[in-house]
C-alpha cells in the first residue's frame, strides 16, 4: 500500500491498514509525530520527500491524502494510467450518532496498548466523538472504527523528540468544545498516572466546559501482568511503589527520594525510565538495594511487539543496552520479578479467556 500524505488525517487510514496487516509506505516530506513513531518502530516505511509517479510501481492500492487537492488529483490520474486502485478524496461526512453527547470534553484512558483493553464506557464515548485528540501511546487501531466525519488531532508525544506543546493541546480541546463539538482526548494507559490529564481537565474547567473523566487500565499494573508477573504477591510483598523515571535521579527537578526507595522491601515499578536506567539502578544499589534483586523489563507491552527481558538490578542497564530496549517500557524491580511462569501464569497478549 502507498499512502501519500503524513498529516493527522492519515491516521484513520493507517489504523485500518495496520489492522489488515498491510505493508505500508508513506510518502510525504513531513509527517505528524504518530506517523514518525510508526516509522521508527518499523510498523510502516516512510519516504520523506515529495511524491513521484514511480511510487506507484508494484502497488495495488494507493491513498492520496495530501493537503493539496491538485496533488491528490495528479496522483489519482497517475494511478489510473497504471491501473492502480486509488482513494483520492475524503468520503462524504456521515450522520452523527443518534445519542450524541452534549458538547464538551471526555478524557479517556485507552489502556496500555491492546485496543480491546479500553473500557466499555471509553469505547462508547469514542464512538460518539466529533473530534479525537490522540497521542502515540493510545492504540491507533481504535481510530479504524471512527467515521470519516471525525476530526483527528495528533498530540503524539515522542520521548525526547518533538511534542505538541501542552498549551496548544489545551487550546484545541477548549476551541473545539466551544464550537459545539464533543471532544475525546484519548490517552494511553490511565490519564492520571504520570500523564497530564489533570492539567487538561483543569484547562477545560477554567474555560467553563463540561468534562468527563474515564479511567483507563494503567500500564504500571497491566503490562507486568501480561508478561506473567504480578506486581504484588501476598507472600513476597505488602507494598507497591510506582515511580516516574523521566528525570535522572541526579536531576535537580527530580521529586523522587531514591534513597528511601532503596530501603523498601516491596515492588518498584518504573515508568518512562529507559534513558536513565543505568543511573537509576546505580542509585538504588548505593542506597542499599541488593544487586541480585530480580528485575523485569517489558517493552511495548500489550501489543504484538511485546518484548520481555529478565535480569537483575546489577545487570539491568547492560542487558537493556545489549537488547536495545527502547520506550515505551515498564521496569519491575523486586522479588516478584523473579517469579517464573510456572510459579505465576503464562499470559498470551491478546488471547481470549
272 is catalytic: yes
For 186-205, give the secondary structure using H, E and C: EECECCCCCCCHHHHHHHHH
- The residues facing 189 across adjacent strands are 111
68 is catalytic: no
Q: Which three cell numbers stand for residue 192?
A: 492520571
Kindly provide the residue ranges of all beta strands, DSSP E only, lying in the chain, ordered along the sequence: 2-4, 25-27, 45-47, 61-64, 85-87, 104-109, 131-134, 151-154, 182-187, 211-214, 240-244, 267-271, 294-299, 307-312, 329-333
1 is catalytic: no
Pairing status of strand 182-187 against strand 104-109: parallel
DSSP 11-34: HHHHHHHHHTT---EEE-SS--HH
Q: Given the residues 55, 114, 135, 154, select the one marked as catalytic.
A: 135
Q: Are 86 and 64 in contact (CB under 8 A)?
A: yes
Rounded to 5°, the CA angle 43-49-52 comes to 100
3 state DSSP class of 325: coil
Q: Given the residues 187, 190, 272, 289, select the one marked as catalytic.
A: 272
CA R_g for the chain? 22
CA atoms within 13 A on the CB side of 242: 15
How many residues are given for the chain? 353
Q: CA 351, CA 347: separation in Å to the nearest integer?
A: 8
DSSP 242-265: EEE-SS-TT-TT----HHHHHH--
CA atoms within 13 A on the CB side of 149: 12
How many CB atoms within 10 Å of residue 32?
23
- The residues facing 242 across adjacent strands are 269
Closest to 3 measured CA to CA, from 40, 33, 35, 37: 35
Q: Given the residues 55, 154, 157, 289, select the one marked as catalytic.
A: 157
Report the catalytic residues: 135, 157, 272
Amino acid at each position: 500500500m502507498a499512502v501519500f500524505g503524513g498529516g493527522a488525517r492519515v491516521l484513520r487510514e493507517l489504523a485500518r491498514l495496520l489492522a489488515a496487516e498491510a505493508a505500508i509506505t508513506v510518502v510525504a516530506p513531513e509527517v505528524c509525530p504518530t506517523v514518525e513513531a510508526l516509522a521508527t518502530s518499523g510498523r510502516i516505511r516512510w519516504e520523506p520527500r515529495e511524491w513521484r509517479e514511480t511510487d506507484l510501481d508494484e502497488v495495488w492500492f494507493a491513498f492520496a491524502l495530501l493537503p493539496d487537492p491538485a496533488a491528490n488529483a495528479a496522483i489519482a490520474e497517475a494511478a489510473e494510467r497504471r491501473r492502480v486502485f486509488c482513494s483520492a478524496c475524503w468520503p462524504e461526512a456521515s450522520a452523527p450518532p443518534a445519542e450524541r453527547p452534549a458538547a464538551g470534553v471526555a478524557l479517556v484512558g485507552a489502556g496500555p496498548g491492546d485496543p480491546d483493553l479500553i473500557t466499555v464506557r471509553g469505547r462508547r464515548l469514542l464512538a460518539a466523538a466529533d473530534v479525537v485528540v490522540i497521542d502515540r501511546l493510545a492504540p491507533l487501531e481504535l481510530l479504524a472504527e471512527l467515521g470519516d466525519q471525525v476530526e483527528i488531532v495528533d498530540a503524539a508525544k515522542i520521548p525526547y523528540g518533538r511534542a505538541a506543546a501542552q498549551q496548544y493541546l489545551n487550546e484545541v480541546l477548549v476551541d473545539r468544545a466551544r464550537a459545539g463539538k464533543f471532544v475525546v482526548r484519548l490517552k494511553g494507559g490511565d490519564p492520571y498516572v504520570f500523564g497530564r490529564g489533570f492539567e487538561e481537565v483543569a484547562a477545560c474547567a477554567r474555560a467553563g466546559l463540561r468534562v468527563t473523566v474515564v479511567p483507563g487500565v494503567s500500564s504500571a499494573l497491566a503490562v507486568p501482568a501480561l508478561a506473567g508477573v504480578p506486581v504484588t504477591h501476598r507472600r513476597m510483598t505488602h507494598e507497591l511503589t510506582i515511580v516516574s523515571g523521566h528525570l535522572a535521579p541526579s536531576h535537580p527537578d527530580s521529586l523522587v527520594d531514591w534513597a528511601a526507595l532503596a530501603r523498601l522491601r516491596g515492588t518498584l515499578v518504573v515508568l518512562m525510565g529507559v534513558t536513565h536506567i543505568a543511573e537509576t539502578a546505580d542509585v538504588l544499589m548505593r542506597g542499599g538495594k541488593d544487586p541480585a534483586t530480580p528485575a523485569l523489563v517489558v517493552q511495548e507491552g500489550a501489543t504484538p511487539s511485546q518484548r520481555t527481558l529478565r535480569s537483575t538490578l546489577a545487570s539491568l542497564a547492560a542487558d537493556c543496552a545489549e537488547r536495545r530496549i527502547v520506550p515505551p517500557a515498564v521496569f519491575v524491580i523486586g522479588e516478584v520479578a523473579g517469579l517464573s511462569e510456572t510459579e505465576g501464569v503464562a499470559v498470551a497478549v491478546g488471547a481470549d479467556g
